[in-house]
Amino acid sequence: MASTNDLKNGLVLNLEGQLWSVVEFQHVKPGKGPAFVRTKLKNVLSGKTVDKTFNAGTKVETANVDRRDMQYLYHDGTDFVFMDNSDYEQINVPEKTVGDAAHYLLESQSIQVAMHDGVPLYVEMPPSVALEITYTEPGLQGDRSSGGSKSATLETGYEIQVPLFLEQGTKIKVDTRSGEYLGRVN
């Protein structure tokens, strides 16, 4: 149990049997009346976001979420297999839980997996990853200065839009939240 005064971003609360992560919070002390805490909560499993207001000092139940550093091993049917870096134990994480992170996963890549009571909740990717372009149409002479873009397939099989001057075999930095091209990697 924790007080609403102890809230911080990323804290996971157990409200009515569901797990909610605190996205943002604000302590409000109006001129009249008691103080309260305005929060934006995100459901850990469904991703739904809601606004909720608590009275200041109210007790809320926190959930014990364990974020572990794990290494991605391979894709097995509908599951992704990860290995815990501390005890080398392997776990299967369903495709639904991995979500869009699957577009950026490379074998032997280290990421964080959030667990609650031994059940994987979500996969936390770094903000950006470096991936190689495995296929893209060659750029035409004179295309280098225009601001156009073309489709490129990354080594994970995911397709994104990149500037016309990029060629096959180039390593690029990709934003894992939006899937946008961020720049070349040397």
The domain spans of the chain are: 2-60, 66-124, 128-184
- 160-174 average pLDDT score: 90
pLDDT grade for 149, boundaries at 50, 70 and 90: confident
Write down the CATH number for the domain with range 66-124: 2.40.50.140
| pLDDT for residue 145 | 56
| pLDDT for residue 24 | 93
Average pLDDT, the chain: 88
Q: Is 154 within 8 Å of 140 (Cβ atoms)?
A: no
Residue matched to tokens 């609650």 = 116
What is d(CA 85, CA 25) in angstroms, rounded to the nearest whole number?
A: 33
Same fold, 66-124 and 128-184: yes
How is domain 128-184 classified at the architecture level of CATH?
A: Beta Barrel (2.40)
Structure tokens at 150: 């073309």
| pLDDT for residue 140 | 65
Residue 125's identity, in one-letter code, is M
Q: What length is written for the chain?
A: 186
Write down the CATH number for the domain with range 2-60: 2.30.30.30
Q: Is 111 within 8 Å of 123 (Cβ atoms)?
A: yes
For residue 82, pLDDT over 90 is answered with: yes
For residue 148, pLDDT over 90 is answered with: no
What is d(CA 83, CA 81) in angstroms, rounded to the nearest whole number?
A: 7
pLDDT grade for 146, boundaries at 50, 70 and 90: low
Percent of residues, the chain, with pLDDT higher than 90:
46
pLDDT grade for 100, boundaries at 50, 70 and 90: confident
Percent of residues, the chain, with pLDDT higher than 70:
95
